[in-house]
Amino acid sequence: MANVVILGAGLMGSAFSTPLADNGHAVRLVGTHLDDEIIEEIHDSGIHPRLRVKLPAAVSPYSYDRLGEAMAGADLVVVGVNSLGVEWASFMLGDLLSPDIPLLMLTKGLEGDGERLHLLPELLRSGLPPALHSSVQIAAIGGPSIAGELAVRRHTCVVITGQDRDLLERLAALIRTPYYHVWPNTDFVGVEVSVAMKNVYALAVGIVGGLLEKEGTGDDGYVMHNLAAAIFAQGLGEMAYLVEEMGGDRATVLGLPGAGDLYVTSMGGRNGRMGRWLGLGHHYIDAKKKYMAAETIEGAELALAIGPTIEEMVYRGKLDARRLPLLRAMIQVVCNDALARIPWDDFFAR
């Protein structure tokens, strides 16, 4: 049995407690400063108010100000904050971590500094005390995993990625269950880029829902699967290009972190709902304020985090604009408040 700390009591962090608890581990679920109501409800009833499921009895809730208490005797720390909370997580963990406690990231995203793109594990590492920069081990989970399905033990297939295969095998054994299927994958760059980029391309696929709503299905009942499939395929091609440019294996895009994760994310959720508003003709800023003000739209947050850097890299010739027409169109929508437009004539360039 291991003592596992999960930092972040949102949907995925909390759902991840289920396979851990089912494997007999003691799970300490620590909320962020935004999770106080969630932690209070779990403490009172055991039910996660957003997942609407009762968490296993082995899951103990902690407020963020009790993180030091939760970290006592920890064997593993799982980082389940959203992409905007990575620096906060580094700050909170910095004085409590020791080199022998690995970090397992559920958080997905990339950051741009105006010159290049960075993986979020790099950002997390850089925020830790210098003594931990080279010693702390970081792995990550990637693949199609809807939190609610995992929380109720639906079959879920993911990869665990990092640079130390022995660590990956050890962590996979901790979390693998008859319904949570885990495969080690040492293509850390390929996995992390794929699982991040899928959010912005799922936002693009979601536009089809709004376009269909505007045009209607008509008497024949036909919808727009052809259109959604073309956007999906273009997204995969652009992901493969970016993975390769950042030093990863483009084959990873064809597996669970790329095609698998893009598929499940395109089936619904916050990216899809925002995409619908964009397809209906709304500007992103207006739609966010009016319809989804309290929700984090990961595809949009990614566009904001990397958009200026992508454009600068294109300008400097570090990226080929012909290979990224859909990404650049979505950057215009989110960063510059342009109306949604599908750049058909620029698709599938080689």
**Residue ranges of E strands in the chain:** 3-7, 26-30, 47-48, 53-54, 59-62, 76-79, 103-105, 110-112, 117-119, 138-142, 156-161, 180-185
Q: Which residues is 111 bridged to in the sheet?
A: 118
Query: Crossing angle, helix 188-215 and helix 269-279, to 10 degrees?
Result: 40
198 is catalytic: yes
CA nearest neighbour of 133 among 99, 163, 88: 99
Alpha-carbon gap, residue 40 to 210, rounded angstroms:
37
**How many CA atoms within 13 Å lie on the side-chain side of 326?**
28
Cβ distance 13 to 83 under 8 Å?
no
Cβ distance 200 to 303 under 8 Å?
yes
Strands 103-105, 138-142: pairing kind: parallel
CB-based contacts of 330, cutoff 8 Å, min separation 6: 200, 201, 203, 204, 299, 303
Annotated active-site residue in 198, 214, 288, 318: 198
Alpha-carbon gap, residue 102 to 99, rounded angstroms:
7
Task: Report DSSP state, residue 81.
Answer: -
Amino acid in the structure at residue 113: D
Task: Report DSSP state, residue 65.
Answer: G
Active site residues: 198
